[in-house]
């Protein structure tokens, strides 16, 4: 009962996002289209604008998605409150902070709810997919959960603008290193994950016949 | 726990996190970035490995510059 007002607020935001951006979703494997996400999963999205989070939420509205967001966004009290209601977890990118990794791992392995991350950390210009930060790989390794890549096409606008177009990959398991978590290995896996996102982008262009 | 003991365990961790670095010559004065090439990614991995090995959690802190600072931090946490 305590969560009730937050649920209403989240529902309203997601409904508003769905109405404004009218997301159209393409699936690499159409069999996952109608299924609710039943396993804890790390959803990895490219970042095109501030509205990406609500767009993703409106697509996967049946799933209790949590988001990782930069701690800077929590500096304003009203925004911080709103973001917490929308299940956002702050990441401190400046100082040495491991609490977000533990919090996120607990969410994935104990609470077993999906988590969404934008590993570029900021928006790329004109759909460019920027290098990924390695936190995403560390998280996937430590929580031992599959990764679901979601490509968001960059050109979408409010209400009468273009519809948001999104392509959903199939869940992938990240390779575990037998020697432990070395920086080179994490770095390599992070680059590999970005390459898979670039492949998904190409798949999106093939399916939609949109010119890149 | 004494500094030498902490240093030995840190060397073991370094062998995993940064296998290309020769950890045998690491002292309290060794610089993390200049001597060991530790960047923010390696520092995060190092912190996670330290937490596992010494069984405590890092509070949010400014990044360390030398191995001595890391070992002092661990000492303070472990001997609390």
HEC sequence for chain B: CCHHHHHHHHHHHHHHHCCCCCHHHCCCCCECCCCCCCCHHHHHHHHHHHHHHHCCCCCCECCCCEHHHHHHHHHHHHCC
Short-list A90, A111, A88, CA closest to A101: A90
Distance between CA B47 and CA A98 in Å, rounded?
7
User: Residue A149 has what pLDDT?
Assistant: 95
pTM: 0.85
For A182, which of B16, B43, B62 is closest by C-beta distance? B16
Q: Is the pLDDT of residue A122 over 60?
A: yes
Residue A181 contacts B where some CB pair is shorter than 8 Å: yes
Report the interhelical angle of A99-106 vs A135-143 (nearest 10°): 40
For A96, which of B16, B17, B47 is closest by C-beta distance? B47
User: Residue A196 has what pLDDT?
Assistant: 95
Q: How far is CA A54 from the centre of its chain?
A: 10
- pLDDT tens track of chain B, all 80 residues? 888 899 999 999 998 888 888 888 899 999 998 898 888 788 888 999 999 999 999 886 777 899 999 999 999 988 87
Distance between CA A18 and CA A162 in Å, rounded?
13
Q: Do B61 and A95 touch (CB under 8 A)?
A: yes
User: Residue A130 has what pLDDT?
Assistant: 93
Residue A186 contacts B where some CB pair is shorter than 8 Å: yes
Q: Do B19 and A182 touch (CB under 8 A)?
A: yes
B chain contacts of residue A134, beta-carbon cutoff 8 Å: 41, 44
Residue A106 contacts B where some CB pair is shorter than 8 Å: no
A chain contacts of residue B60, beta-carbon cutoff 8 Å: 92, 95-97, 99
Q: Is the pLDDT of residue A4 over 70?
A: no
Q: How far is CA B79 from the centre of its chain?
A: 16
pLDDT tens digits for range A178-192: 777 788 888 899 999
Q: Is the pLDDT of residue A50 over 60?
A: yes
Q: Give me the sheet containing A147-152, strands edge to edge.
A: A24-27, A165-168, A147-152, A42-45, A115-117, A66-70, A88-91
Asked if A40 and A114 count as a contact pair (C-beta separation under 8 A), the reply is yes
User: Residue A34 has what pLDDT?
Assistant: 63
Select from A90, A91, A98 the residue whose CB has the most chain B CBs within 10 Å, as the one to mutate to test that interface.
Answer: A98
Residue A101 contacts B where some CB pair is shorter than 8 Å: yes
User: Residue A33 has what pLDDT?
Assistant: 67
User: Residue B68 has what pLDDT?
Assistant: 93
Select from B36, B40, B61 the residue whose CB has the most chain A CBs within 10 Å, as the one to mutate to test that interface.
Answer: B40
Q: How far is A179 from chain B (nearest CA, A)?
A: 7
Share of chain A above pLDDT 90, in %: 32
Complex prediction ipTM: 0.77
pLDDT tens digits for range A61-111: 888 899 999 888 888 899 999 899 989 988 887 778 888 889 899 889 888
Q: Is the pLDDT of residue A16 over 70?
A: yes
């Amino acid at each position: 009962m305590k969560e009730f007002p937050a649920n209403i607020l989240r529902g309203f935001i997601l409904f508003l996002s769905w109405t404004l951006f009218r997301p159209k979703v393409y699936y690499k494997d159409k069999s996952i289209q109608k299924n609710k996400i039943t396993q804890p999963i790390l959803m990895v999205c490219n970042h095109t604008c501030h509205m990406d989070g609500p767009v993703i939420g409106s697509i996967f509205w049946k799933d209790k998605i949590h988001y990782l967001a930069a701690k800077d966004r929590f500096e304003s009290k009203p925004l911080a409150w709103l973001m917490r209601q929308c299940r956002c977890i702050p990441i401190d990118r400046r100082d040495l902070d491991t609490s977000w990794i533990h919090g996120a791992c607990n969410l994935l392995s104990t609470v077993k709810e999906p988590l969404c991350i934008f590993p570029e950390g900021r928006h790329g210009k004109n759909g460019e997919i920027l290098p990924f930060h390695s936190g995403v790989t560390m998280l996937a390794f430590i929580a031992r959960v599959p990764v679901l890549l979601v490509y968001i096409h960059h050109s979408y606008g409010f209400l009468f603008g273009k519809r948001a177009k999104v392509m959903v990959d199939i869940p992938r398991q990240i390779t575990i290193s037998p020697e432990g978590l070395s920086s080179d290995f994490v770095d390599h896996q992070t680059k590999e994950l970005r390459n898979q996102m670039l492949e998904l982008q190409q798949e999106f262009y093939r399916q939609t016949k949109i010119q890149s | 726990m004494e500094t030498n003991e902490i240093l030995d365990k840190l060397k073991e961790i370094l062998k995993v996190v940064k296998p290309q670095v020769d950890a045998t010559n690491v002292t309290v004065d060794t610089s993390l970035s200049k001597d060991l090439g530790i960047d923010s990614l390696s520092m995060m991995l190092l912190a996670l490995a330290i937490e596992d090995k010494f069984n405590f959690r890092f509070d949010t802190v400014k990044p360390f510059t030398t191995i001595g600072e890391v070992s002092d931090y661990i000492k303070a946490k472990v001997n609390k």
